[in-house]
Amino acid sequence: MRVAQVSKFGGPEVLVTADVAEPVVAPGEVLIDVAFVDTIFVETQVRNGWGGEFFPVELPYVTGSGVAGTVREVGAGVDPGWVGRRVASSDGFTGGSAERVVRAADTLTAVPDGLSPRDAAALVTDSITALGLIELTAVKPGERVLILGASGGMGTLAVQLAHARGARVVAVARGERKRALVRELGADATVDGADADWPERAREALGASGADVVLDGVGGAFGARALPLVADGGRLSLHGAPTGDFADIDAAEAERRGITVYGIGDMRFAPEEQQRLRAAAYEEAAAGHLRPVIGEVFPLERAAKAHAAIEARTLVGKVLLEP
Ligand SMILES: NC(=O)c1ccc[n+]([C@@H]2O[C@H](COP(=O)([O-])OP(=O)(O)OC[C@H]3O[C@@H](n4cnc5c(N)ncnc54)[C@H](OP(=O)(O)O)[C@@H]3O)[C@@H](O)[C@H]2O)c1
């Protein structure tokens, strides 16, 4: 069976397809025929050798984790009713970029009628984080929410979810195409992240007292500039690091101003929580209330191109792989 695999850390070119033995189901597991594989930004960083303390991998490893497909076989102790059903699953952050995967049955989420396998794969991971973030920061009607990295896979969902809760959403995205997308998804105002004075533009859009909630999906020095934009007593989530690092903010200032700060550690949801969040997002998507944005689907053999496209930030929306 074909997989997309990394044998040494480096640029996109180290991600190549290989033939490996067919996976075999053990008790408590299922075998899934994979239709689509999700990709997320952090996978490109892990491939580069970054983030071992948060995302440890052992070489060689198969990239990706989130998949959508159909159950082909179940192991002992698993309800045979799963066979033939459309499912999604993620488990850790490796092993998914394959024609078939074996997964513990308790990682499965049924894909409801009305949701395509493509959309299920696009939502498999980002929906957990986006909905988890909105719940964690307890976004309420009428609150002002500032979202950095709003055009990304997770950001586009966070924009829709915050908007659906009646918040006033200010979205930071780079360039007119991405700004138009997040406006269409429910942002009340957008700010171009390429403008050096984006924090001033965001302040104008938010009003003098700033944002009740800031979701930083970008990190680094860029994300750190959001601290002054959080209203006193507000909530700030620093979960993003596509710039190469999570935002390093002045914790004493946050404390002095009564700001509750969340980090990447708060995004690690227990397995049953992940199931609840993903299933809720799938229902919303099947009902047409939540839309994943897919920029391009690459065949598994072109996984390296998919990673290059994510890093170039030229596509609008997510990148998927199709085995
Ligand atoms: N996906 C998840 O479930 C999840 C879970 C936990 C944490 N996170 C973290 O949340 C962040 C966003 O995740 P994502 O999956 O939504 O990623 P993504 O789809 O790649 O989106 C990231 C966005 O950040 C913006 N960005 C700004 N500066 C950037 C830079 N220097 N390099 C790359 N992008 C930059 C890009 O938007 P513009 O091009 O418009 O600037 C891009 O659309 C990541 O740091 C990820 O590790 C994600």
What per-residue confidence (pLDDT) applies to 101? 98
CATH number reported for the structural domain that contains residue 210 in this entry: 3.40.50.720
Verify that 225 and 183 share a domain, yes or no.
yes
Which ligand 1 atom is nearest residue 130's CA? 3
Say yes or no: CB of residue 292 within 6 Å of ligand 1: no
pLDDT in tens, 289-320: 999 999 999 999 999 999 999 999 989 999 99
CATH code assigned at 94: 3.90.180.10
How far does the centroid of ligand 1 lie from the alpha carbon of residue 241, in Å?
Answer: 7
Q: Does residue 289 contact residue 164 with C-beta atoms inside 8 Å? A: yes
Return d(Cα 239, Cα 244) in angstroms, integer: 12
Answer whether residue 122 is part of any domain: no
In a domain, 283, yes or no: no
CA distances to 158, 205, 208, 287 from 229, in Å: 18, 11, 9, 35
- The pLDDT of residue 151: 97
Beta strand spans in the chain (E): 2-6, 15-19, 29-38, 61-62, 67-74, 86-89, 100-104, 109-110, 144-148, 168-173, 189-192, 211-216, 230-238, 260-263, 294-299, 318-322
Residue 230 has pLDDT above 90, yes or no: yes
Pull the structure tokens for residue 28.
Answer: 């408590």
Cβ 172 vs Cβ 151: under 8 Å: no
Do 146 and 262 lie in one domain? The reply is yes
Domain membership flag for residue 65: yes
Residues 131 and 262 in one domain: yes
Domain match, 186 and 318 both:
no
* Mean pLDDT computed over 213-241: 98
Residue 287 is predicted with a pLDDT of: 97
> From CA 22, how far away is CA 34, in angstroms rounded?
13
pLDDT category of residue 54 using cuts at 50, 70 and 90? confident
**Phi and psi for 50 in degrees, rounded to 5?**
-85, 155
From the CB of 193, is ligand 1 less than 6 Å away? yes
**Bridge partners of residue 143, in order along the sequence:** none
Summary mean pLDDT of the chain: 97
pLDDT in tens, 78-109: 999 999 999 999 998 899 999 999 999 999 99
- Is residue 275 included in any domain, yes or no? no
Distance 100 CA to ligand 1 centre (A): 28
CA atoms of 313 and 121, how far apart (whole Å): 20
Same domain, 59 and 131: no
Closest Cα to atom 2 of ligand 1:
126
Mean predicted confidence (pLDDT) in 224-231: 98
Span 6-31, pLDDT tens digits: 999 999 999 999 999 999 999 999 99
Domain annotation covers residue 279:
no
Same-domain check for residues 105 and 132? no
Confidence tier at 237 by pLDDT (50, 70, 90) = very high
Distance CA 155, CA 30 (A): 31
Quote the pTM value: 0.96
Mean pLDDT, range 70-78, rounded to an integer: 98
pLDDT for 154: 96
Find tokens 């229902």 and name the residue. Answer: 283
Separation of alpha carbons 245 and 224, rounded Å? 11
Ligand 1 atom at minimal distance to the Cα of residue 45 = 47
Measured CA to CA, the distance from residue 46 to residue 176 in angstroms comes to: 30
Same domain, 152 and 203: yes
Q: Are 229 and 199 in contact (CB under 8 A)?
A: yes
Same-domain pairing of 239 and 142? yes
CA distance 31 to 37: 15
Structural domain total, the chain = 2
Whether residue 254 is found in the same domain as residue 131 = yes
Task: Summarize the confidence of residues 123-149 as an average pLDDT.
Answer: 98
pLDDT category at 279 given cuts 50, 70, 90 is: very high
Dump the DSSP string for 86-109.
EEEE--TTBS-SBSEEEEEGGG-E
User: Where does a domain end: 220, 249, 267?
Assistant: 267
- Domain-embedded: residue 282: no
* Domain co-membership, 133 together with 250: yes
Domain end residue (candidates: 267, 282, 302)? 267
The contacts of residue 261 (CB under 8 Å, 6+ apart) are 235, 236, 237, 238, 249, 251, 254
Distance from the CA of 246 to the center of ligand 1, in angstroms? 11
pLDDT cut 70: percent of the chain above it:
100
Residue 216 lies in a domain: yes
Residue 132 and residue 257 in one domain: yes
Between the CA of residue 81 and those of 16, 75, 105, 121, what are the distances in Å?
Answer: 35, 12, 12, 22
Confidence at residue 310, expressed as pLDDT on a 0 to 100 scale: 96
* Partners of residue 68 on adjacent β-strands: 36, 88
> What is the pLDDT at residue 253?
98
Closest alpha carbon to 184 in 217, 151, 210, 154:
151
Same domain, 101 and 160: no
Residue 75 lies in a domain: yes
Q: Which structural domain range is residue 52 located in?
A: 2-110+293-322
Q: If you ran DSSP here, which 8-state letter would residue 11 be given?
A: S
Q: At 231, phi and psi to the nearest 5?
A: -65, 150
